[in-house]
Amino acid sequence: ILSGALMLTSAVTLAQEENFNNPIITDKYTADPAALVYKDSVYIYAGHDQAPDDRDRYEMHEWLVYSSADMVNWKEHPVPLKPTDFEWATGAAWAAQVIERDGKFYWYVTVQHEETHHGKAIGVAVSDSPTGPFKDARGSAMITNDMTTEYTGISWDDIDPTVWIEDNGDAYMYWGNTQLYWVKLKDNMIEFEGEIQTVDLPHFTEAPWIHKKDDWYYLSYAYKFPEKTAYAMSKSIEGPWEYKGILNEVAGNSNTNHQSIIEFKDKWYFIYHNGSIPTHGGSFRRSVCIDRLYYNDDNTLKRVIMTSE
């Protein structure tokens, strides 16, 4: 009983260390948060869930960007990018990530491709500022359905890009639904350096995210459906990846989850979405939340304690 009480006390202490006021945005529905640490601020790029209260399907026509210097007070900036900014895309502001290289900001996005490719595709936009304006960096999709569908036979496997840059400048993109893919990028960040490769992880659904602490790489992802968050670890960005278990449970009232993990001012954060806004919140009207992330002594991750339920 005593050890149970101690565990409960320490969980409550961890959970209450900061009050993020989850969900952090309440005047709009926000999903698929991708966080970027740049200088003294954190930027969160999110898809805007715009489905009417009575419609249960994704309606996402733009991405949003918010910034904060303290992870508690968030400022919204003007809409920085829409799927229609890519001439070859027809809609669907699905999951995305922004990364900085040499003073330029590259935004890797999931969109619906034009009719001829019948499916989701990955594009990249570029800007001189983390808040935009962003413009299509290639004039064409980076990954289209006809490049990868042979592995899965589905038209929505090219979604959810996450990009990582090594200290030596080598860049990698991971993405996928059902099948996880990766490819090395050229220094220009908009073309491939090599062949597309695959990784098999238990119950991989979507939403890969790479982060690194010390000499360990962590690959977190949405697991099963409704989605939990699971993770794997490796000593190399190219794997092999060793599955380590569940990091977070299904987040309240949303069948998807989509995390980003960052270190900011010496603390680690787990940023995700749930469907917790009362009455109409849910799987198609989601909301971004933040909780702290902690490590065990052996470098594995402690389960996230959600303060958002």
Residue with smaller CB distance to ligand FUB, 29 or 238? 29
Residue with smaller CB distance to ligand FUB, 95 or 301? 95
Site for ligand FUB in 86-145 (CB under 6 A): 94-95, 110
Tokens matching residue 152: 């899965």
Q: ω before 240 within 30° of 0 (cis)?
A: yes
Largest Cα separation within the chain, whole Å, is 64
Site for ligand FUB in 7-36 (CB under 6 A): 31-32
Tokens matching residue 206: 């979507």
Residue with smaller CB distance to ligand FUB, 155 or 300? 155
CB of 180 to ligand FUB, least distance (A): 13
CB of 50 to ligand FUB, least distance (A): 11
CB of 122 to ligand FUB, least distance (A): 11
Identify the residue among 23, 33, 47, 282 touching ligand FUB (CB under 6 A). Answer: 47
End-to-end CA distance of the chain: give it in Å, rounded.
25
Contact 17, 25 (CB under 8 A): no
CB of 152 to ligand FUB, least distance (A): 15
Tokens matching residue 119: 């499916």
DSSP state of 180: E
Residue with smaller CB distance to ligand FUB, 31 or 99? 31
Return left, alpha or beta for 126; rule: phi > 0 is left, psi -120 to 50 is alpha, else beta. Answer: beta
Asked if residue 261 binds ligand FUB (CB under 6 A), the reply is: no
Tokens matching residue 5: 């009480």
CA 1 to CA 26: how far, in whole Å? 39
Site for ligand FUB in 224-253 (CB under 6 A): none
The dihedral built from the CA positions of residue 151, 112, 61 and 103, taken in this order, carries a sign that is positive
Asked if residue 258 binds ligand FUB (CB under 6 A), the reply is: yes
Identify the residue among 106, 160, 209, 219 touching ligand FUB (CB under 6 A). Answer: 160
Q: Which residues bind ligand FUB (CB under 6 A)?
A: 31-32, 47, 58, 94-95, 110, 159-160, 206-207, 256, 258
